[in-house]
Amino acid sequence: MNTMNNSFVRSRYGRWKEELEPHLKEFRYTLHLLKRSPLSIAGILIAALIVFLAIAAPWIAPYGPEERNWHATKLPPSPEHPFGTDAMGGDVFSRVLWGARVDVGLAFMVVAMDLLAGVIIGGISGYMGGKWDEILMRVTDIFLAFPGLILSMAVCIALGKSLTNIMIGLMVVWWPSYARLIRGQILAEREKLYVTAARAAGSSNWRIIFRHIVPNSIYPLLVSATLDIGNVILSAAGLSFIGFGAEAGVAEWGLMISDGRAYGFLQGSWWMVVFPGLAILITALAFNLVGDGLRDVLDPRLRR
């Protein structure tokens, strides 16, 4: 009995190893392509560090996001306050860390929701064609006709100043690009042999779209989504800077720059503007490097 069991285990292990080997080979080749781009590796490490700091802000930040010390206003960087303090006595280092939690979390939420909406709308439009394609793409064209920043500002004005409303405003702007992208991918995939085989097997349209076609079209979406995380952070910070975003007192990078510009270089308190600005710059640059690295790795011409 033990001999039979051992033989069965070895047989199962052999089949499992045989099935897994192509995936391991592909993963090793992907790592090899990434190693050829030191900037992409740097972007991945910096982006991972920023995400970690955003998650761990409650435990790392020495002060709360709204904690104030009115006896320590506009202090320059020091061991007690590495990034100095702002005009209301808030610790800039702590507020930058809490701002990472706000801005990065907002960017991930916007991109995730827009990616979902784009996949659903673009998937139905590209696969179904006909009147569905016409209706959904004309609605998409209406949203694309408006300048993105103006449309986001209009939504924020209509709904009021808050992080939730700025998120809604940015979602309204970004989903049409994903819908267009996934529609183009599906138009290229829907006539391929595996889709014809799925139809012949009796699979429903929904199963063909989301079980077969979308997974084979997802790579361009991942690249676009990674690049858009940095763009969403820049847009959210810009809206907050001009007064259409976060409410007063919230630890958000764009709002911190807006609050500190009156005391910045003109009054010698440069740290109020420089450190939140550097946080925006480094975060956007890191995710752009990650997106460029993914594009190079997932480009079929580089994987030959």
How does residue 190 score in pLDDT terms, banded at 50, 70 and 90?
confident
pLDDT score at 272 = 87
Kindly state the tokens that stand for 36: 């050829």
pLDDT score at 265 = 61
Residue 6 pLDDT greater than 60, yes or no? no
Q: Say what the pTM is.
A: 0.81
What domains are defined for the chain? 24-302 (1.10.3720.10)
Amino acid letter, residue 145? A
Kindly state the tokens that stand for 205: 């349209």
Residue 190: C-alpha distances to residues 123, 130, 195, 301 (Å)? 10, 14, 6, 22
pLDDT score at 9 = 44
User: DSSP secondary structure string, 40-54?
Assistant: HHHHHHHHHHHHHHH
Report the percent of the chain where pLDDT is more than 90.
14
Kindly state the tokens that stand for 15: 């089949």
Average pLDDT, integer, range 12-25? 54
Among the listed residues 233, 130, 222, the one whose alpha carbon sits nearest the alpha carbon of residue 181: 222
Amino acid letter, residue 196? T
Q: State the DSSP code for 245.
A: S
- Minimum mean pLDDT among 100-104, 189-193, 285-289: which range? 189-193
Average pLDDT, integer, range 9-16? 50
- First CA to last CA across the chain, in angstroms? 48
Among the listed residues 234, 129, 250, 118, the one whose alpha carbon sits nearest the alpha carbon of residue 191: 129
Q: In the chain, what is the greatest distance between 2 CA atoms, to the nearest angstrom? A: 85
Residue 81 pLDDT greater than 90, yes or no? no
Q: Which residues lie below 8 Å from residue 142, measured CB to CB, with a gap of 6+?
A: none
Dump pLDDT digits (tens) for 33-54: 667 777 778 888 999 999 999 9
Q: State the DSSP code for 91.
A: B
pLDDT score at 8 = 43
How does residue 300 score in pLDDT terms, banded at 50, 70 and 90?
low
